[in-house]
Amino acid sequence: MTNWRILAIVFFGVDFLFVLTSAVRHIKSDDFFRRTEDSIESHQEKDAAAVRVFPPVMPLLTILIGLGLNRLWPIAFGFELRKPERYWLGGLIVAGAILGLGAWSAILIRRTGQSENPWKPTTEIVQSGPYCVTRNPLYLQMVLVCVGVAVMLMNWWILILTPVCAWFLQKLAILPEEAYLERKFGNTYLAYKARVRRWL
């Protein structure tokens, strides 16, 4: 096994562990199992966003479906980075997303005594760090991880499916969160919303 393959496996492992630890935290919460319309109403009453999907599932599905489709119907556009370059570039995208967006955002959220669990109450709008550039750095991280994995594997299917992943995240997670934050914080959130973009 070459050093580049080992490097790719390491990046996959880091991302998987990050998602897995988040999943374990959410699964331990009773909120994880509430997905019906009744639960959405109860979330609103209990001071929480009515997020309809466990967010890390979307990028994982994107990557897995992309791998499957590439195995069945591989796509080639006549452009392909060589292995060392593509592992470095894709790995940097993944590492930058996890550290610069995911980990940094999680640290800032926890410093305010909150949780990155989307089914927990938001007590304060974090506006520093990556939140100065995007309102959803944790979700942007997930999208960029898909891009990074696609580059490392030169898998065009993953790249094609990445906008679909972003759309589902926006529809099922971001929009319900925005509705909740507008309801709870009013003009304070609307001012932040007008100043900082949803994605970039």
What secondary structure does DSSP assign to 86-115, as a single string? HHHHHHHHHHHIIIIIIIHHHHHHHHTT--
Return the H-helix or E-strand segment holding 132.
none
Place of tokens 């304070």: 188
pLDDT of residue 184: 96
- Confidence (pTM): 0.80
DSSP assigned state of 4: H
Q: Contact at 8 Å (CB) between 146 and 155?
A: no
In this predicted model, what pLDDT tens digit does every residue of 79-100 receive, in sequence order? 788 889 999 999 999 999 999 9
pLDDT tens-digit profile of 46-92?
789 999 999 999 999 999 999 999 999 999 877 788 889 999 999 99
- What distance in Å separates the CA atoms of residue 92 and residue 85, rounded to the nearest whole number? 11
Residue 178 has pLDDT above 90, yes or no: yes
List domains and CATH numbers for the chain: 81-200 (1.20.120.1630)
Residue that has been written with the tokens 């589902």 in this structure:
168
Q: Answer for the pair 26, 112: CB distance below 8 angstroms, yes or no.
A: no
Report the interhelical angle of 83-96 vs 137-153 (nearest 10°).
Answer: 170
Give 19-32 pLDDT, tens digit per residue: 555 555 544 544 44
Residue 39, pLDDT score: 47
